[in-house]
A and B are shown apart, each in its own frame.
Chain A
């Protein structure tokens, strides 16, 4: 599809059977150009979905917090009663584990956000012509919204446990959050076209995500030595979550170069997935049925 802006504010659109034969960069430019429209739509959808979601719910916004909270409480109990033993974490364990589960939840929600944003508004896709990136944005905005709620809870917990913070490292926390969110969103985005065709993706993610949480130092501190310490270096989430947690709790950070490598890699993955999404959506929509 090619669009040419014309004089007198007229646009000419050409739909043809030929493949677009354009570079990745050209597609990205197209996407950026359609961003204002996509944002307008995405924000409206986000407001609409949030309002609807919480209008029919008693617990309201608390639902964004329950999964990580529940996991954290469980692990506090397990460790507190010596059912499970682990290394010292350097800070009070409840803060450690709660920060960990919250950050993991950001990742987990981010992976599911693109597919969720589209599935929620699936009916629209095959009936009206809308900027499809808008649906992604609505998922993104919902992710940001939920993350903000988590931050509020974390602030409360920090106060309750007298957790020490340092402003110089707190400024890096947004970077850390961005990185974690980007990691999840870019993976989720890449899986979205397939996920719309085959249910296996969604089901697979539901099974694999909890599994991977335990392969990441979320509820336990990263082991520096031992047979699976290599996993902690090569698992991108291990690096991203540990760094962010350390920034939050004013602990020293190591391995910053890994952090930057992974963040750049995920950024590239995100841009690539975005173009894949744009090109594959028309093909998927016609197969999805109305």
Chain B
């Protein structure tokens, strides 16, 4: 084992029981087995299932493992085992150095005590000595930005303030290994950025395991990916982008049937590049820089004056990030009815890695505001394969020159 390797996990497995009464009884049995130093049954008893099954990985200082997967895949269970809270049923974990965890921040808080008292209390719970807390006290209060409320009981804090305080205390631990579990759901933008900066700084000297559903965050910080699904782990060492693509592939986003209006029907939509076009039933993958073609087939049920098709592009988090609004510059039809089939080309796309959807909107420019005749949200999905993955879906290709 390399002297820099801080975490080593081999054939790690954990089973849980579905029924509560049976689970408690198994608990009693397990205590007996433990006390009598007997071998445990490694196989599944009635009502048991593998929450984590045969997971293997290694992590060095300065590396970050992104733990991703759908809800209930086993990520938090794996994290609990790494944190020493529950015992494995098979395999082993080896951890070197001090372990810190940003999990369930503020758990050590007693609502009746003030913020100041809770810093000492929570710090002690996390393993700080009083001397260490005294040294870091000012830094913690500074980071948490709750200065004026320091001497109010914590029960009067908002949940965001509690997270701030909890994060401030936990992140000043300077551990060798850091386990982070989806902690930043609450918290304003300014604080979230501050937390990421802090974690970046911690990452330099620590081995970090990060659980998150926020793919841009994972993409930004992770050097390796462990994709969990129903307890099984797929390990991507050194190729975080592949892991993230795989994660997106697992998400069979529901293809809802078109909700057509009585004025027009969307009959078909296809998307692709110049090598292959796919319709809704196929997975469409294009490369960064490809020309993306979108073909749309509409049947108009009434006469439309100056039909106007626009497209809206949505990202994985269902946020709109781009629009195509220039239909009229290319196709100008006075009166139209019946079938309408068009194609548009998005030249040399500069989308970041991810899965995107296209929303089709047909409007009638007869009136000034353009009455919407048809709107199909997320009519079709496509995935962009790209080495570029970042916060924003659009990666601008600007040109640089040196002035000085």
Contact surface of A with B, Cβ cutoff 8 Å:
1, 6, 10-17, 19-21, 37, 40-41, 44-45, 48-49, 51-52, 55-56, 123-130, 193-194, 197-198, 276, 279-280, 282-287
The interface of chain B, by Cβ under 8 A from chain A, is 13, 16-17, 23-24, 26-28, 30-31, 33-35, 37-40, 42, 80-81, 83-99, 101, 103-104, 107-108, 110, 112-113, 117, 120-121, 124-127, 129-130, 176
Given contacts A14-B92, A124-B125, A127-B85, contact A19 B34 (CB under 8 A): yes
State in angstroms the CA–CA spacing of A115 and B83 once bound together: 24
Contact for B35 among A127, A197, A279, A287, CB less than 8 A: A279
Total A-B residue contacts, Cβ distance less than 8 Å: 139
The reply to whether B91 and A48 form a contact with Cβ atoms under 8 Å apart is: no
- CB <8 Å contact, B113 and A279: no
A193–B31 touching, CB < 8 Å: yes
On whether the beta carbons of B87 and A127 are closer than 8 Å, the reply is no
Give chain B's interface secondary structure class.
Answer: mixed
List of A residues within 8 angstroms of B31 by Cβ: 193, 276, 279-280, 283-284
Contact A52 B110 (CB under 8 A): yes
Contacts A282-B86, A283-B27 given; indicate if A11 touches B98 (C-beta within 8 A). yes
Q: Which residues of A contact B176 (CB under 8 A)?
A: 10
B282 CB to closest chain A CB, in angstroms?
42
Complex partner residue of A279 from B34, B81, B103, CB under 8 angstroms: B34
- For this complex, 17 residue pairs linking A to B, each with C-beta atoms less than 8 Å apart, are A10-B176, A13-B94, A13-B96, A17-B13, A17-B88, A19-B38, A19-B39, A48-B113, A48-B117, A48-B121, A52-B112, A127-B85, A128-B107, A198-B24, A276-B31, A287-B23, A287-B27
Q: Ordered nearest first, which 7 A-B pairs have the shortest CB separation?
A: A16-B92, A44-B124, A286-B86, A52-B112, A287-B27, A280-B31, A127-B104
One of A1, A48, A276, A283 near B84 (C-beta < 8 A)? A1
Contact yes or no, A127 B103, CB < 8 A:
yes
Which residues of A lie under 8 Å from residue B130 when comparing CB positions?
40
Query: Does B124 lie within 8 Å of A41, measured CB to CB?
Result: yes
Selected contact of B89 from candidates A17, A123, A194, CB within 8 Å: A17
Partner of A283, one of B87, B112, B117: B87
Q: Which residue of B lies closest to A6 (CB)?
A: B96
Instruction: Verify A41–B37 contact, CB threshold 8 A.
Output: no
Task: Chain B residues near A51: list those with CB within 8 A.
Answer: 112-113, 117
CB pair A130–B125 under 8 Å, yes or no, is yes
For B107, give its contact among A20, A123, A285, A287 (CB under 8 Å): A123
Cross-chain contact B28 with A40 (CB below 8 angstroms): no
* A125 partner residues in chain B, CB cutoff 8 A: 85
Check A21/B84 contact, CB under 8 A, given A13-B94, A44-B120: no
Contacts of B112 in A (CB 8 A): 51-52, 55-56
For residue A45, which residues in chain B have a CB less than 8 angstroms away from its CB?
Answer: 121, 124-125
Give bound CA distance, A1 to B99, whole Å: 15
Q: Which of A15, A280, A282, A287 contacts B92 (CB 8 A)?
A: A15
